[in-house]
Amino acid sequence: MVSTKLAVFMAIGSAISMVAAAPIWNVGENGSRLLNQDVCNTPECIATAESFLGYMNPNADPCDDFTEFTCGAFYEKTVVDANTTSVNFQTIMSSRNKIIIREIADAALGKAPKPAPGDKAAESNLRKLHNMYASCMNVDAIQTAGQQPLTKQVQSILSLIPDTPAIDKAALAKTMAQLIKLGAPIFYNISVRQQLYSPHYSSIQGIQGGLTLPITSYNQSLTDAADLVPDIAQQFQKVLGVTVPSATNGATPEAKPTVGQEWITAAQDVIAFETLLADVIDRKTRPSLDPELPMFNNPITVEELSNATPSIDWPLLLSELLPVDVKYDRPLSVQSPEFLPALETLLSSTPVKTLRNYFAWRIISAQKERLNTAAIPGHERWEVCNEVVAKNLPDIVGHYFVERTLPESDQTIFRTTLQSIISSYGEGFPTLNWIDQTTLEGALKKLHAMGLVVGQSAESPNGASSESVEEYYSGYDVDVSDYFGNLNKKSVWAVEKSFATVNEPYVQKNILQLSPTVVNAMYKATTNHIYAFAGIMQSPMFHASNPEYVNFAGLGGVAGHEIGHGFDSDGKKFDSTGNFTNWWTPETDKKFIEKAQCFSEQYSNYTVKGPDGMDLHLDGPNTLAENIADNVGVKYAFRAWQSRLKADPTGKKYKNFKLPGLEKYTPEQLFFISHGKVWCSKETPEYSATLINVDNHSLNKFRVLGSLQNSVEFAEAFKCAPRTRMNPEKKCSLW
């Protein structure tokens, strides 16, 4: 929940987002054309200006602490707590987007879209969407069903692997396949993915299955997890056993039931087995890492898999996942082949009963929240159901979200913005004195080959087409009265649909990997494409009525960042077609590494106060790729915008008019103020500590400070004296 004190900012953002959908160009209150020296006093311009002034602390020195200058009032007025651990542009935009998603998905509100007469595809899509949402909102039906849906699911899994003296490899293979289909993969998550070394083709890939118990680090043992036994045992009994009232408290609703020894033993089995499993998981390639990295792509034949782990019938496992008419005779790509013999040792030495308990636990832990209708602190049930439909029917939700929020004219503006930034990159690369001609040619080739997907997927399905969306989901039916079943069917449907394409060329360059409503953008190295989700193409990141210095600093800066990922410490390993290959000369590669080290050292010196009041240092090496993208992104977004301003200084072609209350700032200063504003963020000390430990991005404050301390253009815009905090003598520079 966003704090009440922040509501004014959200209201301003909403006011901006609800103006006319068509682009509003340089037009003033009386309909006259606004030039760059003019002050815009339309309601839209006033709202934009107020959003700046409501965040800023104009008394702060921008050359000392630019984030305090741009975000000081935001810091003072924003409240974070245990329920709201962080407030930033993503949380604010997500809150606004939630309202739109709810209106689209909840037919009971009376604001949902309606299909045109005779539009069978739209009828089908909306029926599935509204049925899915209604099944999630039907708390009474979920509570009436109780644990039975999960109980039947667990019993179905256990029926596949009987409790025999020795493990049956066919039974184990069938069980693993079913767990994969149900979204609870074990040992290896087998899926269809793009090939790393031949990105135009698909392959079957195996990634180590993750652990289920709460641990703080993959380098720690689970042997101290004994205190988890009571909770796990209670969940086993809740799903598979009969609740026994406490002898002291009777059968009152508040009483905790007495847990049977059978379930205590099952819980102990789970903890003991997962402790051993954690010991054999390759720590260097934990499952959370990007599966596109080479360590995850080790070719191995089915025969080699069978020899390494004879306890698993690999041919049968694959046949259970593949459609009957699809054969696969190529090597698989797996993470950490050395994991296989260790896994075999574990499987062959573990009692079948323990494995059965662990398989049951995998399903319980993966699906128990589907039956949880209790209120989540800070969230209402409709917010949970929003996430359910956005995750399970992303293209249907996205189709109508884009219709409401992102007209084609806005998409055209963004495409133009991105192309300007790409051109700016192209002008800057040849001026670099550390890159040789061979590597420069490769960089420019990759830059100009970059693709862009705006708003929603353009294929498989084409999100803009109801017919394409309807065809894509044609094999998936939604029952308005069966929430649990809907989610299980969706998981199985998605896996089966994916495996049906394993022998087809990989042509999915234009497919978003997440819901279009997500407040994010991403770059995918194996397709060399940028994906701008509709969810982020809203105010304050972007609006058609904004001056260009606002849009180029906001969404343009994000676009510049994503372009930069093509040339960061990870993206540089892929060429213009998405091939994992080294197109760098050794000399230039060495210089890249040397210059990148400057960023690692710079960001490692930043500190924040932790929960105990002690300084916590950012992890410069872990955040290196993102820091490089931040720095190069704002650099070339600024240069692209400035190039357009210089080409049209009066504003006859491009709009850079003034905003009321901000007249004293130059357009260049307003660009950087806009950039700082969109990254205003406040976190609890606990959440900051968590982000430092697990996130590969720097904290938002330092994403701004770091990139602008390295910016010559920023220092010039604010006339920061040399060796001031925001204009240090040593600056890191790469691209």
Q: Which residue has the tokens 């006011």?
A: 15
pLDDT digits (tens, 9 = 90+) for 541-572: 888 889 999 999 999 999 999 999 999 988 99
Closest CA to 312 of 269, 341, 270: 341
Say what percent of the chain tops pLDDT 90: 67
Cα(483)–Cα(137) distance, integer angstroms? 9
Q: Which of 315-319, 329-333, 672-676 has the lowest mean pLDDT?
A: 329-333
Mean pLDDT of 507-524: 83
Least confident range of 278-287, 363-372, 378-387: 278-287
Q: Strand 332-334 to strand 202-208: parallel, antiparallel, or no bridges (unpaired)?
A: parallel
The DSSP code for 727 is B
- Taking alpha carbons only, the member of 626, 735, 598, 640 closest to residue 691 is 626
Q: DSSP 3-state assignment of 452?
A: strand
Question: How high is the pLDDT of residue 215?
Answer: 52
- Is pLDDT above 60 for 728? yes
Q: Please enumerate in sequence order all residues whose Cβ is within 8 A of that of 440, keeping only pairs 6 or more positions apart, or say none.
A: 429, 430, 432
Per-residue pLDDT tens for 291-312? 445 556 788 999 999 999 999 9
Measured distance CA(398)–CA(390) in Å, rounded: 8
Does 228 or 16 have the greater pLDDT score? 228
Q: What is the pLDDT of residues 441-483, one digit of tens each?
A: 999 999 999 999 999 888 888 989 999 999 999 999 999 999 9
pLDDT at 617 over 80: yes
Q: Where residue 243 falls among pLDDT bands split at 50, 70, 90?
A: very low
Query: Which domains are seen in the chain, by residue range?
Result: 51-74+408-449+542-735 (3.40.390.10), 172-210+283-349 (no CATH)
pLDDT mean over 93-108: 95
Lowest mean pLDDT among 27-41, 153-167, 263-277, 587-601: 27-41
What was the pLDDT predicted at 565? 95
SS3 for 3-72 is CHHHHHHHHHHHHHHCCCCCCCCCECCCCCECCCCCECCCHHHHHHHHHHHCCCCCCCCCCCCHHHHHHH
Instruction: Report the 10 Å Cβ neighbour count for 392.
Output: 24
**Which one has a higher pLDDT value, 401 or 197?**
401
pLDDT of the residue at 489 = 96
Which band of pLDDT confidence, cut at 50, 70 and 90, is reported for residue 77?
very high
pLDDT at 510: 66
Q: What is the mean pLDDT of residues 714-721?
A: 97
Query: What phi and psi values does residue 724 have, to the nearest 5 degrees?
Result: -75, 170
**From residue 493, how far is each of 24, 129, 196, 567 by CA, in Å?**
44, 16, 25, 37
For residue 96, which amino acid is it?
Answer: R
When mean pLDDT is compared across 6-20, 107-121, 286-300, 302-316, the lowest value belongs to 6-20
Of residues 68, 42, 39, 64, the one with CA closest to residue 55:
68
pLDDT (average), residues 171-192: 92
> Burial of 173 by CB count in 10 Å (0-12 exposed, 13-18 middle, 19+ buried)?
buried
Q: Taking the model in full, what pTM does it have? A: 0.87
pLDDT of residue 509: 66
Q: Note the Cα 356 to chain centre separation in Å.
A: 34
* Mean pLDDT of all residues in 342-351: 93
Q: Specify whether the CB–CB gap between 476 and 132 falls below 8 A.
A: no
